Amino acid sequence: MIFDIDKIRQDFPILQQKIYNRPLVYFDNAATTQRPQRVIDALTRTYTEYYGNIHRAAHFLADKATEAYEQTREMVRELINAESREQIIFTKGTTESINLVAFSFGEAFIQEGDEIIVSEMEHHSNIVPWQLMAGRKGAKIVMLPIDDDGRLQIEKLESLISNRTKLIAVTHVSNVLGTINPVKQIAQIAHSNGIRILIDGAQAAAHLRIDVQDLDADFYAFSAHKMYGPNGVGVLYGKKELLEQMPPYQGGGEMISEVKFAGTTYNELPYKFEAGTPNISGVIAFGAAIGYLQQIGIENAAAWETELLNYATKQLLTIPGLRIYGTQVEKSGVISFNVEGVHFFDLGTMLDKFGIAVRTGHHCADPLMDHFDIQGTVRASFAFYNTKEEIDVFVAALKKVISMF
């Protein structure tokens, strides 16, 4: 045991509950994690002590809220080792971060006939925004395939790159397979060909130490709600020279410098991309989540999650007819599987009756499902607050459910 798991679990009030009179086993952390009391307190404290609209008013509450909001920006900068706070843009989540880039980068840099490379294992939110942009600009999406182990075929990348390729969009960690992609190497290939890279960090930010400068990411996107923070808050990191050249994604308050009917000038970074009143309390509470995660230690969390992954994988593989999708060594704590003769949806529904929360379905990754010629899987995904005892309960329940079919 790397840290005191009983003590850690006490920090998460929701984990203390019983579901259908059984202790909750929460294995849906890839969809969204749960929040420690500290984050819930930060939300309440914001609303009870220093809530006001940020950046605009000359009064005490607004000043305090602005200070706390900007403090989170600095914490995010430090967390991912960005050069400057101007490169940290708050959005409502990974989805909005990617849509922002697809729109604004598309407007600034994509011409008719240009190409974007997108991997076969992407979540829909790293596919559809590019398709929308491609439709607007007359650009083309080129797919980077995976093999049957759930590995990106990066040896094919060079051959997919043409003189029209402008950007590679790839996930750091697959939400279905758990595969940790060699994004630093992909960035090197991209840059040696004069191409930009967007990394979808939704499944990485809570489980890997991210260093955007070391990765040499042009864009990096992630969500607070998958990092023990509030929902409705996300981050886009971007290289300054790109963000400066990109037009605003949305128009409104805060993103302007001066508005005249004859023409408007835009605010400086990062505010150019933060139109309107943002999720003030959410961003402030995200700061509390980052503080908590730093205290646990991302490396400690990852080591424990890997132990859980290995423990669960070993047990699951003893079940006849069970197939795991995604068998890479470089893998995060996500296990997607099917059991021969039992529909994934039935498995998920029955596991719920044992108080076990897993996700079933296509996991917003239809092209990946097509690769394996399946409609969906059962997915168990772990966080540092999960235990081996919970895995024992899960495996025993799974065996019981399978025997019922």
Contact stretch for ligand 7TS (CB under 6 A) within 243-251, 288-296, 357-365, 370-378 = 357-365
CB of 263 to ligand 7TS, least distance (A): 34
Count of helix runs (H) and strand runs (E) in the chain: 14, 17
What does the block give as tokens for 270?
């990062």
Considering only residues 177 to 206 of the shown chain, the ones binding ligand 7TS according to CB under 6 A are 200, 202-203
- Smallest gap, in angstroms, from Cβ of residue 223 to ligand 7TS? 3
State the nearest-atom distance from the C-beta of 131 to ligand 7TS, in Å. 15
- H or E element in which residue 189 lies: helix 183-192
Tokens in use for 403?
């025997």
Number of residues that bind ligand 7TS (CB under 6 A): 18
Tokens 């990348």: give the residue.
157
Asked if 123 interacts with ligand 7TS (CB under 6 A), we say: yes
DSSP per residue, 270-321? TGGG--S---HHHHHHHHHHHHHHHHH-HHHHHHHHHHHHHHHHHHHTTSTT
Of the candidates 290, 364, 398, 401, the residue annotated as catalytic is 364
Q: Is 169 in the site for ligand 7TS (CB under 6 A)?
A: no
- C-alpha distances in angstroms, 385 versus 5, 8, 23, 263, 313? 6, 6, 14, 53, 18
Length, in residues, of the chain: 405
Indicate the residue among 94 and 165 with the shorter CB distance to ligand 7TS: 94
- With contacts defined by CB under 6 A, name the span among 51-59, 121-129, 259-267, 282-290 that binds ligand 7TS: 121-129
> What's the half-sphere exposure (Cβ side, CA atoms, 13 Å) at 148?
4
How many CA within 13 A on the CB side of residue 301? 21
Min dist. Cβ of residue 124 to ligand 7TS (A)? 8
34 binds ligand 7TS (CB under 6 A): no
Residue 364 appears among annotated catalytic residues: yes
Binding ligand 7TS by CB under 6 A: which of 165, 175, 281, 386? 175
Q: Which stretch binds ligand 7TS (CB under 6 A): 59-67, 156-164, 325-333, 359-367?
A: 359-367
- Residue 99 engages ligand 7TS in binding (rule: CB under 6 A): no
Nearer residue to ligand 7TS within complex by CB, 96 or 114 = 96
Instruction: Indicate whether 125 belongs to the interface with ligand 7TS (CB under 6 A).
Output: yes
Which one-letter DSSP state was computed for residue 94?
H
| DSSP class of 85 | G
Peptide bond into 230 cis (omega under 30): no
Site for ligand 7TS in 281-340 (CB under 6 A): none
CB of 111 to ligand 7TS, least distance (A): 27
- Report the alpha-carbon distance of residue 31 to residue 203 in Å, rounded: 9
List of residues contacting ligand 7TS (CB under 6 A):
30-31, 93-95, 123, 125-126, 171, 175, 200, 202-203, 223, 225, 359, 363-364
